[in-house]
Structure 1
Amino acid sequence: MEIKHFDQFFSNNPIPMWIYDPRDYSIKDVNQSMVRLYGYNREEMLSFTLFDLRPEEEVPKLKKHLEQMDHDRLGDEGVWKQQKKNGDFIYVHVITNPVTFEEEDHTYQLAMYKDITSELNTQLNNDMLFKHSLEGIMLTNPNGEILQANSAACEILGMTEQEITECGREGVVAKDQKLEEALKQRSETGRFIGELNFIHKDGHKIPVELTSSVFVNFAGERRSSLIFRDISDRKQQEQAVRKEKEFTDIVLNSLPGLFYILNKEGKVVQFNDRATEVFGVPVEKIVGRSPADFVHEADQGKVPEEIEAVLEEGYREFEITVEKAGGNTAIYHFNAERLELNDQTFIIGTGLDITEKKELEERLNLLLEQEQVQRKKAEADRDKLKEMFEEAPSPKCMIEGPQLRYVIANKAYREVVGQENIIGKRVDEVVPEVE
């Protein structure tokens, strides 16, 4: 190897280097980068042999390698484990090249070191992640060939790694619109995040949440990674929640009146579909507004008062006149209850149209008033007749029953018989001479 200004190239090079004698493996020279990497000073390293940086268990392996090494050519000596002055182990990739010096009659070896400890640790971590991840991981060719699958992927699919690689994409991923869109997106952007349907060994479909990206490996080959998890349980829970919501909506929308939820600011959070029929406005255009917007102007001031009251007291019942679609009005009876949910305060309640009930009540009250008037008139007429009977100048009485008991007798009659309290008595008790 001939390099102009070799001393400058060697001494100032950021690549750790030293020069050793292949006859006894002693160190002839060492650059500053090598000193910094291993933590020894220059004098210490110049006293070393090629074996001094190796752990004891690595020395036999190195000696065997040196015996087979061609010292007359550039050589890639591979990766070696070495030890720094502080005891830390590192892994270095070693390249050697023969060098000669004018004053020397034999060839030395220039050894260049690249610390790849971090890269190996990363690779090791990736290998550990691949093997022990709870999520399924597959290494694939973008054309659909599956190259590797970890144990989690095998468990999710119910297959061995060999079965997965033999099946390829066609045997593992369901052919549907989701797959077409995913492949298109990954082809255009190099990555895809979303949901697909995988196929279990027994044939049933497995919904998975998946992340896939395309990369180029060290050999310049295009590869793609797939990281996925089985979301069957989540899908079942979502379906259960969806069914529960559908059932709740059906129940709420089948109510004869209004169902509503307000936040603590008094704005509408939810109304059932009955609100559209009542107010003539789609529910989505009601949400976020104040309920006072749908109340007759005479009662609009009552809305904030009742909201404040229910937030303070916890429960209220009240009546309000609302503006209906078409300009009509209706009287509604509302109940409202304060609800604490997930650290938030809401008002929940129902409203029932009581307009007809109110009209019936008014008609009933009118009839009752009329009856009261008639009753008072009848009582007055009766009292007048009673007074006329009592003051009649001729004796008058009324008796009834087989025992001939007095029911009524006027003043003139009582004077004739000479007794006042004769009502209920028999005639023969009042007038003994009558038998």
Structure 2
Amino acid sequence: MYRTGQPVHALETTQRFDRFHNGELHDEYFDLTLQPKFDAGGRIEGVMSFAINVTERVRSRQRAEALQADLLTAARRQAQERAAFHNVFEQTPALIALLRAPGHRFEYVNPAYQALLPGRPLLGLDMAVAVPESEEQGFVALLDRVYQTGETFFGAELPFAPEPVDGGPARTWYFNFTYQAYREDGQVAGVTIFAFDVTEQVLARQQREAERQQLHKLFMEAPAPIVILDGPDLVFQLVNPAYQRVFPGRALQGKPVLEAMPEVAGTAIYHSLRGVRHRRNLRGTRAAPDAGPL
């Protein structure tokens, strides 16, 4: 990326961390973007890294895949006993449906799936007829592709908004799910749906992000000078306009304190900042960014 100037995107890259400070490494997954940073002359002067922790998404999909494999294995063992085949699905909290033919006709839905669409007749009807909003929201097109190609589709935290029941309030649900083709006599006969409700997880993350943005907005609009310094080098992670006005014309964002302000080296305030971070580390806690006027 630094040589070409082209951004680099990597999905679900794996890093290992000692999350609990006990010497044991745990896998964490990130969606990573590396973006070039250009100076005023258009030359690349650095790299910006943006990473989103998607560990829960990856692990949810892995659990879904494991459950799907277990259920399909059980289904194959009991292929001649349809009642027993369905009983495997009746008690799972996952939403499960068995669709047949190019029109995706409902052959089976478990109670969890039916509960998403209360009062609607599903069995014997094509997906687009029984759940027209699924076609409007793009899900039927995904089913078409799986049926035509035989390739499994994995959906991560995709929203689905069913029509409100009896004039009730509209609600959007979020699901991790798989659409997987199944075969009879070597030919694709239909598609199975395995979905997990992750609405609470998604809404909680959205709320945290909204709160983070609100806090950022408050910092940026505050009349008092505020900065956030991060890492052992005390890098300027956030600089609000009031603080920048104290140092007009000086680049601060993304630079260590001593690089942006070499004149503070050896001063009491710099040693105080270093001391705060050192004491936090001695207490065995993860060092939080330091906020406040320098």
- TM-score normalised over the length of structure 2: 0.55
Give the equivalent residue in structure 2 for 1:199.
Answer: 162
Structure 2 residue 277 is matched with structure 1 residue 349: no
Give the equivalent residue in structure 2 for 1:306.
Answer: 272
Q: Helix, strand or coil: the match of 1:174?
A: helix
Conserved in 1, the CA contact under 8 Å of 2:161 and 2:171?
A: yes
Conserved in 2, the CA contact under 8 Å of 1:214 and 1:222?
A: yes
Give the equivalent residue in structure 2 for 1:130.
Answer: 89
Q: How much is the aligned-residue C-alpha RMSD, in angstroms?
A: 4.0
Give the equivalent residue in structure 2 for 1:408.
Answer: none
* Deviation sequence 1:189-224 (CA, Å, 0-9, x none): 622122141525617354231211122134745210
Counterpart Cα distance in 2 of 1:282 and 1:182: 48
Conserved in 2, the CA contact under 8 Å of 1:339 and 1:345?
A: no
Conserved in 2, the CA contact under 8 Å of 1:260 and 1:349?
A: yes
Give the equivalent residue in structure 2 for 1:152.
Answer: 112
Give the equivalent residue in structure 1 for 2:37.
Answer: none
Amino acid at match of 2:110: N
Conserved in 1, the CA contact under 8 Å of 2:152 and 2:178?
A: yes
Counterpart Cα distance in 2 of 1:220 and 1:240: 45
Counterpart Cα distance in 2 of 1:230 and 1:163: 20
* Deviation sequence 1:283-316 (CA, Å, 0-9, x none): 8x61xx4221210x332344763343223457xx
Out of 53, 74, 77, the position equivalent to 1:120 is: 77
Give the equivalent residue in structure 1 for 2:122.
Answer: 163
Amino acid at match of 1:139: L
Conserved in 1, the CA contact under 8 Å of 2:143 and 2:179?
A: no
Counterpart Cα distance in 1 of 2:244 and 2:80: 62
* Deviation sequence 1:371-423 (CA, Å, 0-9, x none): xxxxxxxxxxxxxxxxxxxxxxxxxxxxxxxxxxxxxxxxxxxxxxxxxxxxx
Counterpart Cα distance in 2 of 1:281 and 1:140: 63
Conserved in 2, the CA contact under 8 Å of 1:159 and 1:201?
A: no
1:270-349 superposed matches below 5 A: 270-274=237-241, 278=247, 286=254, 289-295=255-261, 297-302=262-267, 305-312=271-278, 343-349=285-291
Counterpart Cα distance in 2 of 1:266 and 1:177: 48
Counterpart Cα distance in 2 of 1:207 and 1:301: 55
Counterpart Cα distance in 2 of 1:344 and 1:313: 11
Amino acid at match of 1:213: Q
Does 1 or 2 have the higher relative contact order (CA < 8 Å, sep 6+)? 2
Counterpart Cα distance in 1 of 2:86 and 2:227: 57
Out of 139, 143, 161, the position equivalent to 2:103 is: 143
Structure 1: stretches of 5+ with no match in the other structure: 1-116, 315-337, 353-435
Q: Percent of aligned pairs with the same residue?
A: 12
Out of 208, 217, 242, the position equivalent to 2:174 is: 208
Q: Helix, strand or coil: the match of 1:242?
A: helix
Give 1 or 2: higher helix fraction. 1
Amino acid at match of 1:197: F
Structure 2: stretches of 5+ with no match in the other structure: 1-73
Conserved in 1, the CA contact under 8 Å of 2:127 and 2:140?
A: no
1:35-434 superposed matches below 5 A: 120=77, 127-141=86-100, 142-159=102-119, 162-163=121-122, 165-166=124-125, 168-172=127-131, 173-176=133-136, 178-179=138-139, 182-183=142-143, 186=146, 187=148, 190-194=151-155, 195-200=158-163, 202=165, 204-209=170-175, 210-218=177-185, 220-255=187-222, 256-263=224-231, 265-268=232-235, 270-274=237-241, 278=247, 286=254, 289-295=255-261, 297-302=262-267, 305-312=271-278, 343-351=285-293
What is the Cα deviation at residue 253 of structure 1? 1.1
* Deviation sequence 1:310-350 (CA, Å, 0-9, x none): 23457xxxxxxxxxxxxxxxxxxxxxxx8989x41124221
Counterpart Cα distance in 2 of 1:340 and 1:251: 30
Amino acid at match of 2:226: L
- TM-score normalised over the length of structure 1: 0.39
Amino acid at match of 1:156: L
Amino acid at match of 1:345: A
| CA 234–273 in structure 1, closer or farther in 2 if over 3 Å, else same | same
Number of aligned pairs? 206
What is the Cα deviation at residue 251 of structure 1? 1.1
Conserved in 2, the CA contact under 8 Å of 1:135 and 1:152?
A: yes
